[in-house]
Chain A
């Protein structure tokens, strides 16, 4: 593809936001977006895993193509992702135990975050080169964090508002997400 790195970044961040337009990473989006102080670190951790996964997927893809082992792509990607998450867990545990405890169960759950595997699969399908892949995953992670932070800010405010009890919980979050998604549609075409 002939898209520039900047175009890809803006696109992944806004116009084709991973969460609000491509529906990737919804489980943590609905689960962790309750409080701003957990939402932001979660976004950053996920972005980091996405970068590592994207890097490894790029290399892995070259290897698989060379040896004509395309049918092993999915399995090798998922093993790489699981390993990356283990790595991030160990690093966090050593250098920031407070953050490690704060994120709790959600850290290993990054493995099942469709956004991470989604990054690897999409960059392969669109045949991005190295720079494009890196900007794509960085933009995607930033977009995920952005959506998470926006959602968390609104939900925090919402706890003080008079939401009808039938709508409390996931139903409200989904309606919120729908409005956010609608707003983000306004970014269409940005970045060329």
Chain B
């Protein structure tokens, strides 16, 4: 049997681009729309989720050979919940303001489908280092997705970026952007953009093969 060796960079980039959780797999929607009211919140949530992802995938990969397959989902969830609790306390220790801003969604990282999906699809079948790299890629991809929403919503909805005012005091913020409907609209717009770009790429490909 030949084994496909995937390069480390490929493992990492898989989560960032090809299988980006936000734009391609459409996973982890709840935090994506809820906490991206500002770029700082988006970044913090992304980093927290990435840390939980990496730590959980590491531990799950370490124990993958001794976990009975009948109860593996329950075990994965318990491991993920453990690291979410750790991150929860860590954020409280770092900044209570950030903790209040992110609210219940820190603890809701437990039910973020990305982490369970990664555990099942990858960490359970690969050695720890590979699992961690793949998890890191996913985490980065998710953070990029969150930031793409957070940056747009903050700039349009508050006129600031990471708290720094961009347009001065006379800027009339587009308030709906920081409200729930805005989240839906911005994400929908991003998906629309990617879909259009993909369509254009396909068309060019077809034209190229036709002209060849």
Contact = CB atoms under 8 A, between A and B. Distances in A.
Contacts of A165: 199
Interface string B18-37: 00000000110111011000
A169 B195 CA distance: 10
B30 A25 contact: yes
Interface in A105-120: 108-109, 111-114, 116-118
B107 A27 contact: no
A166 interface: yes
A166 B29 CA distance: 21
B88 A74 contact: yes
A190 interface: no
Given A23-B180, A78-B110, A167 B78 contact: no
Nearest to A179: B181
A181 interface: yes
A173 B29 CA distance: 13
B8 to A, nearest CB: 29
Contact of A21 (B27, B113, B180): B180
Given A23-B180, A175-B188, A111 B111 contact: yes
Interface residues of B, number: 41
Contacts of A118: 104, 108
> Could you say which of A114, A116, A167 has the most chain B C-beta atoms within 10 Å of its C-beta?
A114
Nearest to A20: B180
B110 A26 contact: no
Interface stretch (B79-87, B123-131, B151-159, B161-169): B79-87
B184 A166 contact: no
- In this complex, the interface size class of chain A, counting residues with CB under 8 Å from chain B, is 35 or more
A82 B74 contact: yes
A8 B85 CA distance: 29
25 contacts: A22-B34, A23-B30, A23-B183, A27-B27, A27-B30, A30-B26, A75-B78, A75-B81, A78-B78, A114-B108, A114-B111, A118-B104, A118-B108, A166-B195, A169-B191, A170-B26, A170-B191, A171-B189, A171-B195, A173-B188, A174-B185, A175-B184, A177-B188, A182-B181, A185-B181
Interface of B: 26-27, 29-31, 33-34, 73-74, 77-78, 81-82, 84-85, 88-89, 104, 107-108, 110-113, 116, 176, 179-185, 187-189, 191-192, 195-196, 199
Interface of A: 20-27, 30, 71, 74-75, 78-79, 82, 108-109, 111-114, 116-118, 121-122, 125, 165-167, 169-175, 177-179, 181-182, 185
Given A27-B27, A78-B77, A178-B183, 17 more contacts: A20-B180, A22-B34, A23-B29, A24-B30, A26-B33, A27-B113, A74-B88, A75-B82, A82-B73, A109-B113, A112-B112, A116-B111, A117-B108, A125-B104, A171-B191, A175-B185, A177-B188
